[in-house]
Amino acid sequence: MSDLPERISLREVGPRDGLQNEEPVATDGKVALIDSLSRTGVGRIEAVSYVHPRAIPQMADADEVWARIERAAGVRYSALAPNLRGVQRALDAGFDEIEVVVSASDTHNRRNVNRSTEESLDDIAQIVELAHARGATVQAIVATAWGCPYEGDVPLERVLRVAGAALAHGADALSYGDTTGMATPTRVSELVGETRMRHPDVPLNLHFHNTRGTGLANVLAALQLGVADFDASVGGLGGCPYAPGASGNVATEELVHMVEDMGVATGVDLPALLDTAAQAERLVGHTLPSQVLRAGPRTRTAD
C-alpha cells in the first residue's frame, strides 16, 4: 500500500450539512450537539450556514446557535455562505473561516443558489476581498465535483476550470464535494491527481457522501495520494435539499475508526464520538446510517 499521511485533519459538518436535511431541530439541541462535538477531539467544526431562511429554514437560527455555543480551545469553527450577503452576515457574527460553495454543474448551482455557476464565480472575487479585509480566510467548495443528479457526469475539465477560477479570484483553499455520492476511487484519483499537478500548493479538502457505498473507499484512494483533510458528519447525518438522493455523508466515527486502525492519527476520541453520534440520533428522532454506531469499534467483544 502507498505511504499514508501520519495524521489527517477532520472537519465535522454534521451541525450544518447534516441538520440542513432534517426536520428543523430546536436551537438548544443544535448547541448541545456542537458542544458535545467540541469535546471529542475533532479540530474543526462547520457550525452553521448563512442562507435565506426561506431556502433553508433549518439554518434560520444561525446567529443564536453561534452566540450560544461554548468555543472550545483548539477547535476552529467555520460557516458556509452561498453569496456575498451571507458572507457579510458570517463576518459580522465573528467567523474568521468562511466556506463559499459553487457547483461545477450549472443546473445544480441554479437549484442550489438560484444563479448560474458563472454568476457565483463572479461573486468570489468580491467575497475574498471582503473576507480578507476582515482578517478571514475563504475556502471555495466545488460541489457536484464527481457528478450531478440533474446532468449526470460533469466533465473533469469543467470541474478543474471552476476550481481554477475560484483560486484565481483569491480563494485560500479548495474543497471538492461529492454531492450525491457519485465518486469512485479511480475518479477520485483522477481529479485529485490533475488538481495537484495544476495547483500543487493549494490546501485541498474532500467531502464524500456514502450514498452508493463508496465513501470510505474514496477516502482511502485520497489518502494514498497524500490528501490529509476530509469532511465527515457525525452519525452519517446529511444530504443536500437540492440534490435528490444525496443522503449519507461519510460518518465521522466510521472514518476515524478506519484510519486510526490503519495507523493514521486523527486526534479524535472514538468512544466520545460514538456517544455524540447516539446523541445526534436522538436529536433527529430516527436511525442514522453509521455502521460503527450500530456495531461498535472493531475491538468490541460480546459480553
* Catalytic center residues: 240
The full DSSP string for 34-80 is HHHHHTTT-SEEEEEE---TTT-GGGTTHHHHHHHS---TT-EEEEE
Gyration radius of the chain over CA positions: 18
**Contact by Cβ (8 Å): 168, 124:** no
Locate 147 and state its grid cell: 457528478
Locate 284 and state its grid cell: 433527529
Q: How far is CA 235 from CA 106, 107, 289, in A?
A: 30, 29, 7
Cα 146 to the center of its chain, rounded Å:
15
Q: How far apart are CA 40 and CA 58, in angstroms?
A: 24
Cα 262 to the center of its chain, rounded Å:
23
Q: If 0-12 CB within 10 Å is exposed, 13-18 middle and 19+ buried, where does residue 100 land? A: buried
